[in-house]
Chain A
Amino acid sequence: METLSSLADGFVIALTWQNLLLALLGCFLGTMMGALPGLGPSNGVAILIPLAFTLGLGATPSLILLTSVYYGAMYGGRISSILLNIPGDEPAMMTCLDGYPMAKKGRAGEALSLSGIASFVGAFLATWGLILLAPQLVKIALLFGPAEYFALFTLAFATLGGVASTNQAKTAFAAALGIGLATVGVDTQTGVPRFTFGEVHLYDGIDFLVAIVGLFALSEVFLFLEHRHGNADASGHKVTVGRLMPSWSLLKSCTPTMLRSSFLGFLAGVLPGAGASLGSFIAYTFEKKLVDKEGTFGTGDPRGVAAPEAGNNAAAGGALVPMLALGVPGSGTTAVLLAVLLALNITPGPLLFTQQPDVVWGLIAALFIANVMLLLMNIPMIGLFTRVLLIPPRILMPIVAMVSFVGIYGISGSSFDLLVMVGFGVLGWVLRKLDVPLVPIILGTLLGNAMENNLRRAITIDNGDWFALIDSPLSIGLWTLAVIGFLLPIIFGKVVKARMRHMAKDEEGSTID
């Protein structure tokens, strides 16, 4: 009851005309930045900090603006994933896997609205989770020491098999390549440079945004250049947008998926250092393992769109738990938000909820408002978004390429990063031709450092004893899951694959209607 009355107070604070306008502005800008490749939620928030300060906003209005941007970017990322097969930001990469095939089948409108609804469900549930469970959830975060984190990351990589490619060796190769790229730069444990070849620009490592934009966006441009012979261009891309809203039966069939994915995504978000990307990844792989009996995931299954979107938006809400209650950012974006809080003289930490209830509850109310606003804004705009598909690729692709360049250059101001990005573009093009999945590479660059650091912390704390890794019931449990997740597809892979082929033949007529 007390919670509800606090929440009501929060709404009183948040529901002023100024704050509503700020939320609207934030939602719009956030969606835009999420959709533009190269500008993710963390940079989006960072870019708008000066705006909040220039407008001379107080603590609560600033937070309302910036969290709207945060949630907006989480919504926006899916748009370019679905329409262009280019993730607008890193958590949206899983949405490419089924969203783009759906769009290709002429169901772009449905994919966009379904993912919008899934985003809403994820964010909505996560905000309730934040309200009701924040203090208890902090205890979960405290169960995770370095050894447990290492086990968790290993679990993520162990279950990669079969996410994107049928060739396990290529998936393993891609993951190792990604982790290997993450090790470039100054070693954060000992401060020695590794694999930098004396190049100062590499000391900070390779920015995963550079990798993701290069691998996905530029390689797409190269693919288009390669395939533009004769009239293929004109005939091959007559895109149909299809219906804009999903049918009730489709929504109903995706509801269990959304609920499960929201829960998993939220948990992943609560763990500092795991973040939204892991949230969408775990949601997708879990859902695939659980319900994908026919092997339709990866070919435009609506559940494959709902799962990662619910997962990443729930994770975005979950990441606010450790940020507010511990002052520990659970993701890149919350790290920026944390910096903003500090600048506003708000010290996140265990006492924030009792010391500054108006800020916390105002913020939470703002999350609800932003979420509803985003849903209302996104659904009618789907018709507009899908127009993007009507722009001929010969015009659209150069725009995508240039936007990618600008996104990267505007943040880092470095030509070197652009060259690295072109390199990734070429790499992505070659790897795509060879049917090597790109998702594991991104996952590797995102999590590689955290994985190595936690491994080394765990072992250093136990004075060089490698058994430190299986020292707690939690880590043993995670390792068991990882081993099962790794072995299952290998043992049953052949059986399933054979059945998949069989089923696919049977269902060919019925799925594409």
Chain B
Amino acid sequence: MDSTLFHYLDYAVYGTAILVMLIGFYGTMVKKSLLKIVISLSVIDSGLNLLIVTIGYYKGGTAPIFSPGFLKNFKDVSKMVDPIPQALVLTAIVIGFGVTAVALALVIRLYRHHGTLNIDEIKNLKW
């Protein structure tokens, strides 16, 4: 019983991550407010990060940290989850933060220039 539940739970985590991403995509494509778009972009990032961490995890794994106690019990090494996705996610989070900061700065400038946050009205450059 335990195992099947975990089995479904595995998928549920994947599903949640993908769902979060889809919500983000929905927001990016449908919401008109610049702020909401920026938030949606962040949401996509979060979903993606969740997904990546999930890929690196497997059932019953431990944190990939070499502690003195860890080395004594060498069998546990094989129980470590893959550390690379976590490292990648850390990088991706930082980058996502940077992009969000730039985007918000631009939103401020757009609001000052156009006096609106509606993306449909910010179309000075076209064709």
Q: Decide whether A and B assemble into one complex.
A: no
Report A's interface with B, CB cutoff 8 A: none
